Amino acid sequence: MNRLHHIRETLPKNITDNISYKNLEFVVLNYNSKDGLDEWINAEMSGYIQQGILKYFTTKEPNSFLRSHSKNVAAKQATGDIICNVDADNFIGNGFAQYVNNVFCNNQNCYAAVDRKKTSADFYGRICLRKEDFWKINGYDESMVGYGFEDYDLWNRLEMIGRKAFYIDDPKYLKSVEHGDDERIENESNTKDIFKIYIHYLNHAVSELLYLFKNKKFYLGKVVINKLYNSESIDNLFQNKNFEHYNSLLNNSWLQGEWKKTPDKIILEDESGCTIELVLTDKKSLIKKTKHRTITEYFEIEKKSQLSELIMFFSQINNRIIMEKNKKHKIIKVNGDSFGNASLI
How do 255-261 and 265-270 pair as beta strands?
antiparallel
Length of the chain (residues): 345
Q: In the chain, which segments carry CATH 2.40.128.300?
A: 189-322
- Please tell me the predicted confidence (pLDDT) of residue 241: 61
CATH code 3.90.550.10 for 4-180? yes
Confidence at residue 179, expressed as pLDDT on a 0 to 100 scale: 85
**Distance in angstroms (rounded) separating the CA atoms of residues 25 and 113:** 19
pLDDT for residue 244: 81
CA distance to 15, 37, 84, 224, 312, per residue, from 54 (Å): 9, 14, 14, 46, 33
Confidence at residue 237, expressed as pLDDT on a 0 to 100 scale: 46
Q: What is the pTM of this model?
A: 0.92
Pairing between β-strand 110-113 and β-strand 54-59 as defined by DSSP bridges: unpaired
pLDDT along the chain (345 residues), means of 10: 97 98 97 97 98 97 96 97 97 98 97 94 95 98 94 98 98 93 88 96 94 98 88 55 83 96 95 95 86 82 93 95 97 95 97
pLDDT of residue 339: 96
Q: Where in the chain is the domain with CATH 3.90.550.10?
A: 4-180
Q: Does domain 189-322 have CATH number 1.20.120.420?
A: no
